[in-house]
Amino acid sequence: MTPEPRKPPQDAVTVCHLRLGIGSVGIALPVVLVVGHLVAARRLTLLDSLSSYYHTEMRDVFVGSLCAVGVFLIAYRYRRPDDALGTVAGVLAVAVALFPTTVGAPAGTTSHSDRMAGVVHQVAAGALFVLLAAFCLFLFTRPDRVGVPPRPSAVRFYRVCGALILAAIAIALASTQLPPDVRHALKPVLWCETVAVFAFGAAWVAKSDALFRATEPTDGIDADPGSRPVAPTPS
């Protein structure tokens, strides 16, 4: 008689769902902001950055999505390094939402305190992206809690996502040296932020076992498929 498959422990299910929630919101955010603004404005227009959508009718979506990601990251619990980095990243995500950028604000409407909030926004956003890249490059590529390493294809995927995030940060910083009219025409920060957010979201969705599914999670509970040994087939 074939034994009935054992259900994954509740802790494993929670970790998987948190990873999926973080990744799904991240992937959806750029699409919802851009498309929502296009529909509301009734014309084809792109802003200079994702954060600029705070100053449009998409403000609530921007703030709500980042706060949701922040809460998910703060609630995320797996191992000590993951817990610490997740909590810091969650606080940074909430800071990015609550301290708006001045980019895209109507001319003449920003005060000194608004500009200070914009500085906090930029620092928090940069630090957040660096931590999200660290998750992809260093935490997601480790063996799980019972010592089984993730499959090589998954490791390569996480490393590519981490590298894309870091490359996007570097290009966005370099683009500040371009003339303002060129930046406004090409919108490099918007595209770099979009790539970085997509990469971070894809990595978290993959880590939730939604892409590299192999078997149901076991008590080892890393949701990374490929991180679990396959039971031998009875002869």
Q: What is the pLDDT of residues 191-218, one digit of tens each?
A: 999 999 999 999 999 999 744 443 444 4
Residue ranges per domain, the chain?
A: 10-207
Predicted confidence at residue 15, as pLDDT, reads 87
DSSP secondary structure of the chain: -PPPPPPPPHHHHHHHHHHHHHHHHHHHHHHHHHHHHHHHHTS----SSSGGGGGSTTHHHHHHHHHHHHHHHHH--SSHHHHHHHHHHHHHHHHHHHS--STTPPTT---HHHHHHHHHHHHHHHHHHHHHHHIIIIITTS--TTSPPPPHHHHHHHHHHHHHHHHHHHHHHHGGGS-HHHHHHH-HHHHHHHHHHHHHHHHHHHHTTSSS--S---TT----TTSSPPPPPP-
Predicted confidence at residue 232, as pLDDT, reads 44
Predicted confidence at residue 52, as pLDDT, reads 96
Predicted confidence at residue 2, as pLDDT, reads 56
pTM of the model: 0.84
Per the prediction, the chain carries an average pLDDT of 87
Q: How confident is the model over 64-88, as pLDDT tens digits?
A: 999 999 999 999 988 899 999 999 9
Q: How confident is the model over 165-182, as pLDDT tens digits?
A: 999 999 999 999 999 999
Percent of the chain with pLDDT over 70: 85
Q: Which of 56-60, 63-67, 72-76, 104-108 has the lowest mean pLDDT?
A: 104-108
